[in-house]
């Protein structure tokens, strides 16, 4: 990093336009970068290409009709969004959830988290120029998606949760399939560890790059693995326990330096912890109903609630205000990527262009979630 590049003659400076169609932006994100040679002077993310006004859709139809929308924002990890939404509705209407349903929610959510982190791992390494890992992670991902497809009916935009439980119980093949999958994943992690974690090229590309400190995290509202990479053990599953997470034993992995490498380590360890959670949940899952009977028409009482879950990218918060009708008067979706992306401007100043790609990759951006 050299100081004083901003004072260099203006004709050495130029603008570089990355996106909206660029493999390293992982979606329709455009980034306008002010450059000096290979150094980034300024950076401006331009979002909104995938904007669909989900919040307006939520406010103009009965609350049940918004359930499929929740899966279409963070498409890589849909279930935490859905969990936050149904919890908000349950909180408002006082609908109880059977215990078996809560366990099913936790198991499917954690499977979804592993799927999302695997997708990130492959794409991140692809950004750094390693093509092979994505072929392996997609293979692993498919095995879990098969299980989720059997349960939820879709491979990507899972719509499985309902206010008062889940839409249907799992069949007998579910548990053996999940157990086999856990066993397989554990052996795969060892392989990834050997291939990636100590790879000298990978370390050189990620160590001490894109350091986020606590103050920056506070100002931008950074959450999720990006925050935990900076050594702050903030996980909604532990901090504000919901569902049956308090009954399950798992660790919250944290990094030390807050750089891209630590964010990688945190996510990889999180996948291991997710497998631990799933194993315990399978052991403890009781029998019984998976859905409380609710009236066909369920009005939302006046007042507002918020509900927060831990998504694969951080703090997913839904704010719902009711007015006594079936349609929410106001529905706000707080997506973690929105906050995590907004710090890019400050984080990437004076960085090499190649490091910018690594940093953006390490933030695990899902652009439809930013645009909503």
Sign of CA dihedral 362, 67, 333, 100: negative
- Decide if residue 317 touches another protein (CB under 8 A): yes
To another protein, the closest distance from the beta carbon of 357 in angstroms equals 22
Q: Compute the C-alpha angle 143/149/155, nearest 5°.
A: 85
Structure tokens at 70: 């929740």
Residue position matching structure tokens 């399939």: 177
**Strand 30-36 to 39-46 pairing:** antiparallel
Long-range contacts of 321-324 (CB under 8 A, 24+ apart): 322/92, 324/299, 324/300
Is residue 28 a contact point for another protein (CB under 8 A)?
Answer: no
Question: Does the footprint of another protein cover residue 102 (CB under 8 A)?
Answer: no
Q: Are 45 and 345 in contact (CB under 8 A)?
A: yes
**Residue 211 CA: distances (Å) to CA of 164, 262, 301:** 42, 10, 45
51 binds another protein (CB under 8 A): yes
Residue 91 lies near another protein (rule: CB under 8 A): yes
Q: Pick between residue 112 and residue 308 the one whose CB is nearest to another protein.
A: 308
Told to check if 96 binds another protein by CB under 8 A, we report: no
Decide: is 309 part of the binding site for another protein (CB under 8 A). no
- By CB under 8 A, tell whether 246 contacts another protein: no
Asked if 148 interacts with another protein (CB under 8 A), we say: no
323 lies in the binding site for another protein (CB under 8 A): yes
3-state secondary structure of 308: strand
Strand 303-310 and strand 315-322: the pairing is antiparallel
Q: Is the CB of 202 or the CB of 250 nearer to another protein? A: 250
| Alpha carbons 18 and 31: distance in angstroms, whole number | 5
Interaction of residue 315 with another protein, rule CB under 8 A: yes
Cis (ω within 30 of 0) for the bond into 225?
no
Rounded to a whole number of angstroms, the minimum distance from the CB of residue 263 to another protein is: 16
Is residue 339 close enough to count as binding another protein by CB under 8 A?
yes
Question: Computed from CA positions of residues 275, 277, 281, 283, in that sequence, does the dihedral angle turn out positive or negative?
Answer: positive
Q: Does 346 bind another protein (CB under 8 A)?
A: yes
| Between 152 and 340, CB nearer to another protein | 340
**209 contributes a contact to another protein by CB under 8 A:** no
Stretch that binds another protein, among 108-116, 130-138, 194-202, 331-339 (CB under 8 A): 331-339
Work out whether 305 is an interface residue with another protein (CB under 8 A): yes
Comparison of 127 and 262: residue with beta carbon closer to another protein: 262
Tell which phi-psi region holds residue 129, choosing left (phi > 0), alpha (psi between -120 and 50) or beta.
Answer: left
* Nearer to another protein (CB atom), residue 59 or residue 140: 59
Give least dist CB 110 to another protein, A. Answer: 22
CB atoms within 10 A of CB 143: 16
* CA torsion through residues 4, 5, 11, 12, sign: positive
Site membership for another protein, residue 303 (CB under 8 A):
yes
Residues that bind another protein (CB under 8 A): 47-48, 51, 53, 55-56, 59, 88, 91, 214, 217-223, 227, 232, 234, 239-240, 302-308, 315, 317, 319, 321-324, 329-330, 332, 334, 338-339, 342-343, 346, 371
């Amino acid at each position: 990093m050299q100081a004083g590049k901003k004072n260099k003659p203006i004709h050495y400076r130029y603008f570089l336009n990355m996106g909206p169609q660029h493999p390293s932006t992982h979606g329709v994100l455009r980034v306008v970068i002010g450059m000096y040679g290979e150094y980034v002077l300024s950076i401006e993310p331009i979002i909104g290409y995938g904007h669909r006004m989900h919040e307006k859709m939520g406010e103009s139809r009965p609350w049940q009709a918004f359930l499929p929308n929740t899966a279409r924002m963070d498409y890589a990890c849909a279930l935490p969004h859905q969990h936050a939404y149904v919890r908000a509705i349950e909180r408002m209407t006082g609908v109880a959830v059977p215990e078996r349903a809560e366990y099913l929610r936790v198991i499917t959510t954690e499977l979804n988290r592993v799927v999302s982190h695997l997708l990130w791992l492959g794409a991140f390494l692809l950004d750094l120029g390693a093509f092979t890992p994505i072929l392996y992670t997609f293979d692993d991902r498919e095995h879990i998606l098969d299980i989720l497809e059997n349960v939820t009916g879709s491979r990507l935009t899972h719509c499985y949760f309902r206010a008062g439980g889940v839409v249907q119980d799992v069949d007998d093949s579910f548990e053996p399939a999940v157990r086999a999958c856990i066993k397989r994943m554990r052996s795969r992690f060892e392989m990834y560890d050997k291939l990636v974690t100590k790879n000298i090229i990978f370390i050189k590309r990620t160590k001490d790059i894109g350091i986020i400190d606590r103050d920056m995290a506070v100002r931008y509202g950074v959450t999720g693995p990006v925050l935990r990479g900076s050594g702050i053990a903030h996980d909604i599953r532990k901090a504000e326990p919901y569902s049956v997470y308090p009954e399950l034993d798992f660790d919250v992995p944290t990094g030390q330096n807050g750089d891209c490498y630590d964010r990688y380590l945190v996510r990889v360890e999180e996948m291991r912890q997710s497998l631990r959670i799933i194993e315990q949940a399978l052991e403890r899952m009781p029998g019984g109903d998976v859905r409380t009977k609710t009236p066909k028409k369920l009005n939302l009482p006046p007042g507002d609630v918020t509900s927060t879950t831990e998504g694969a990218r951080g703090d997913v918060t839904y704010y719902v205000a009711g007015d006594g009708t079936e349609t929410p008067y106001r529905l706000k979706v707080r997506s973690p990527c929105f906050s995590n992306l907004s710090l890019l401007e400050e984080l990437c100043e004076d960085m090499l262009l190649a490091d910018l790609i690594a940093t953006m990759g390490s933030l695990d951006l899902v652009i439809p979630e930013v645009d909503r």
